[in-house]
Chain A
């Protein structure tokens, strides 16, 4: 046990700059894809609860497609699959789609929006009917009611579940190393391949655990700020 810890410490000390650059990539992937994923999740959720089938059917199909297939396949379709078409390689988006970082961000964001859309949908459905009716009774137009009453309430109700989604998203970013990005997992893999030792993988694991803890802690602070009213 002490041998292992000493080995880990040595690996960390010797490779600290490498791990820090990996951590930076992981954090970029996490923060950007979570932000885009959250922003996209709101329209997905609204479309899913919409009474109009033109909106609800495609949104449901979107959620099923992204939640029913592995994230690895989604990244590979975007990064390795799309360049198969000349139209993609000739398009203005090609400089972005050629680069693994935007491709990974795109895959993670879309994937997150599908999962988080479900969570927000649950939040929207959990907004008490009385509040909705009160808003209608004072004559609020639909858009205003959505912005002032339903979404703020739904997001607060969904906050604890969103914390789980962000932790899952952190773990999902580890797949970035499959499209040549050197994130935390990528650093561990690289060291493992170069030195035939696994200390690097363990150090990466320890950093992920610390990050998971920080995310959970951060969300608990957010909850005490924004959702204090519904504490038991």
Chain B
């Protein structure tokens, strides 16, 4: 159907790299998002204000520009910090930038999740004498997670598509592999359509995965008929 002149395996290798970037950014970004939400809800002004400001800055700048800023300015920043020459790979730069973007948006999602947990439950936990950290890990976070999951699912789809931007830094993920195939074979249409289909497959597959996660997060809850 789509003649890829033997570059199909290359594209699939690229797909693996795309998944690596996306999953790593999802993990780091989720942690950043939870920390960011905690900071935004903090009673301490000097924690809340700068984090809120940073999140708003990140959300006001195109993802592509953030990727470029991170990739080109992080090495000199780290070098001046450590006093040695630091260089970062496109993979590290890409994961760093995408995690930052994901974390910024996810902090809003998780903030909503944390606020949605009924106060009575937290009070009940306190009345039992649970220590603060255990209230967080056993009561607050698992339920906030359930409320936040649909939002995280949307952010994941955006993240998956944003990984294509890292190809501009030269990381050999789907898009970069498609670029190479297109240049060699002079059939750009075939390659970019093939790349599009791989992304589409990933997006379609993540639907059931998140549905499963949502079922898992909501286990033990009475389902409305």
Query: Which residues of A are at the interface with B, using a C-beta cutoff of 8 A?
Result: 64-65, 68-74, 76-77, 80-85, 170-175, 177-178, 185, 188-189, 192, 198, 201-202, 204-205, 208-209, 212-213
Contacts and interface: CB of A to CB of B under 8 A. Distances in A.
A209 B199 contact: no
Given A185-B65, A188-B68, A198-B69, A77 B189 contact: yes
Nearest to A85: B189
Contacts of A71: 161
Interface in B53-92: 57, 59-66, 68-69, 72-73, 76
Sorted nearest first, the 10 A-B pairs with minimum C-beta distance are: A174-B62, A81-B189, A171-B62, A209-B60, A70-B164, A70-B161, A198-B73, A212-B60, A84-B189, A69-B196
B61 A192 contact: no
Interface stretch (B117-125, B137-145, B180-188): B180-188
Contact of A84 (B64, B69, B188, B195): B188
Given A73-B164, A198-B73, A209 B192 contact: no
Contact of B62 (A68, A81, A85, A185): A185
Given A70-B164, A171-B62, A209-B57, A84 B186 contact: yes
Contacts of A192: 68, 72
B65 A205 contact: yes
B102 to A, nearest CB: 15
B16 interface: no
A83 B190 CA distance: 12
B188 A68 contact: no
Nearest to A167: B60
A85 B186 CA distance: 11
B192 A205 contact: no
Nearest to A69: B196
Given A68-B200, A68-B204, A69-B199, A175 B64 contact: yes
A71 B175 CA distance: 12
Contacts of B167: 72
Contacts of B64: 171, 174-175, 177, 185
A190 to B, nearest CB: 11
A212 B178 CA distance: 33
B72 A198 contact: yes
- A73, A173, A204 interface centre (most CB from chain B within 10 Å): A73
A174 B187 CA distance: 26
Nearest to A211: B60
Given A72-B165, A77-B189, A173-B62, 18 more contacts: A65-B196, A68-B203, A70-B163, A70-B165, A70-B199, A71-B161, A76-B192, A77-B196, A80-B188, A83-B188, A170-B62, A174-B62, A174-B63, A177-B64, A192-B72, A198-B76, A201-B72, A201-B73
B214 interface: no
Contact of A73 (B65, B186, B195): B195
Nearest to A65: B200
B162 interface: yes
21 contacts: A68-B157, A68-B200, A69-B161, A70-B163, A70-B196, A72-B164, A72-B167, A73-B164, A77-B189, A77-B196, A80-B192, A84-B190, A173-B62, A174-B64, A174-B65, A175-B165, A178-B168, A185-B64, A192-B68, A198-B69, A198-B76
Contacts of B73: 198, 201-202
B68 A201 contact: yes
A189 B71 CA distance: 12
A185 B68 contact: yes
A188 B71 CA distance: 13
